[in-house]
Amino acid sequence: MAIFTGAGVAIVTPFHEDGTVNYEKFAELVEFQIKNGTDAIIVCGTTGEASTLTHEEHLDVIKFCVEKVAGRIPVIAGTGSNCTETAIYLSKEAEKYGVDGILVVTPYYNKATQNGLYEHFKMIANSVKVPMILYNVPSRTGCNIAPATVVRLCKDVENIVGVKEASGNISQVAKLMSIADGSVDLYSGNDDQIVPILSLGGKGVISVLSNVAPQQTHDICAKFFEGDVEGSCKEQLRAIELCDALFCEVNPIPVKKALNIMGMEAGPMRRPLSEMEPENAAKLEKAMKNYGIL
């Protein structure tokens, strides 16, 4: 059984102006997500700025999230690293806190061969018992998991259950699902490709859009699974302008700006990320108004 189906939010990590984690606002964001239909929370991923959290902060945020969610929906922790031993450490600690699964990105900067990726992910998965989702985002990591490698991992390693596909390459995803033989739980990693991914057998999306439009993102998936493909597609297309605005600068700059515009006080980014350019902020605010969330 899949860890979750539907829309999982790749939740932001709110900060105070001094850069420390704002746990009060984080708790409010968790409640906002659950109240508005989100099917799972993915904590400490790219959108959560995990790359600029210390290990202690990273684990504290995961623990806090698990405690606040309190079993109401699944919590999946980002525990990836370009160092296999670090990823094992983070994964084992997250498991102790009671996460429902882990999301592990491909090694960035140092990259790896396909055999190296296989060994990396297998070692991490074997260090824990919770299910693991691979995260393929070559635009950020410079490293692509080939379809055959994804299938090999899902078939060979019991608790590797699927992949978050953010390559943007629909042809690659189609190839993956054509050889998966039911072994891969597929999640879209791109908000503008939810319906295409679902049409290829996807289980849902791990979403940036859900931070600001949780109910609507949930509905895209729910309508599709209910057989209302036309309604699902309509909701997907209605969201395209906002999706484009949320990625007109590197994630999570725009989505944090959007939350701040909504009065949800997500705070600043940590360096090297910087404030959104004024012309892009205006574009984002216009898209939010057109979408109906302002």
All domains of the chain, ordered by start, with CATH?
Answer: 6-228 (3.20.20.70)
Structure pTM?
A: 0.97
The catalytic position among 25, 63, 68, 164 is 164
Q: Does 1 score more than 90 pLDDT? A: no
Q: Does 128 score more than 90 pLDDT? A: yes
135 catalytic residue (yes or no): yes
Report the share of the chain in percent with pLDDT over 90: 100
Output the DSSP codes for the chain: --S--EEEEE----B-TTSSB-HHHHHHHHHHHHHTT--EEEESSTTTTGGGS-HHHHHHHHHHHHHHHTTSS-EEEE---SSHHHHHHHHHHHHHHT-SEEEEEPPPSS---HHHHHHHHHHHHHT-SS-EEEEE-HHHHS----HHHHHHHHHHSTTEEEEEE-S--HHHHHHHHHHHTT--EEEES-GGGHHHHHHTT--EEEESGGGT-HHHHHHHHHHHHTT-HHHHHHHHHHTHHHHHHHTSSSTTHHHHHHHHHTT-----PPTT--PPPHHHHHHHHHHHHHHT--
164 catalytic residue (yes or no): yes
The catalytic position among 118, 135, 187, 291 is 135
User: What does the mean pLDDT of the chain come to?
Assistant: 98
Give pLDDT, residue 2. 93
